Amino acid sequence: MPRLFQIVSLTFALAACNTMNTVVPISNAAPGTPGFKQVITNSWLNSKSNVTDVKEDVVNGDQKRVQLSVYSDQATPQSISYRFEWFDGNGMRVTGAAQAWQTQRIMPRETIIITGIGPTPTATQWQLQLLDTNLPWTQ
C-alpha cells in the first residue's frame, strides 16, 4: 500500500510540474539592476530557459519591440514554449493580440534570442510566458 501511494503521489507531482514561468519588465528600475523580473514557479523550466537580458526599441515608427536572451544550463538539447501577452499603458490587455504559443529548441549551454513586437502602437507593456515542452506524455 505505501508503494502504491508513492506511485500515485509521484504521478500527481509530475502532472503538476509543468507550471508557467513569467517574465515582466520593471519600469524605473534602479541603475545597475535588471529591467525585468522573472516569476519562477517551475525551477526545472528556469534551468533551461533563464532570461539573462532584455532589450527594447521601437519599430515601424511606433510599435514596441522586445528582445530577450534566454540561456539553457542543461547538458542536453531542450524544448521550450513561449508566448507574448501585450497590454496598453493602463495595463489593459490589448484585444486580439494573443500570439500563438511557439516552440523553440535550445542547445546545451546555448543562449537564444526571443523577439516580440507589439501588435498595435498602444501595446506598450508586455509579458513573456514560458512553458516546458519536454514532457513525456506530450510525445
C-alpha Rg value of the chain to the nearest Å: 17
**Distance in angstroms (rounded) separating the CA atoms of residues 45 and 62:** 33
**Distance in angstroms (rounded) separating the CA atoms of residues 95 and 87:** 9
Task: Indicate whether 139 belongs to the interface with other proteins (CB under 8 A).
Answer: yes
* Closer residue to other proteins (CB): 46 or 63: 63
**Distance in angstroms (rounded) separating the CA atoms of residues 12 and 10:** 5
Which residues, 113 to 132, sit near other proteins by CB under 8 A?
A: 115, 117, 119-121, 131
The least distance separating other proteins from the CB of residue 135, rounded to whole angstroms, comes to 8
**Distance in angstroms (rounded) separating the CA atoms of residues 63 and 117:** 7
Local structure of 124: helix, strand or coil:
coil
Binding mask 78-117 for other proteins (x = CB under 8 A): -x-x-x------------xxxxxxxx-----------x-x
Which residues sit at the interface with other proteins, rule CB under 8 A?
1, 4, 59-61, 63, 65, 79, 81, 83, 96-103, 115, 117, 119-121, 131, 133, 138-139
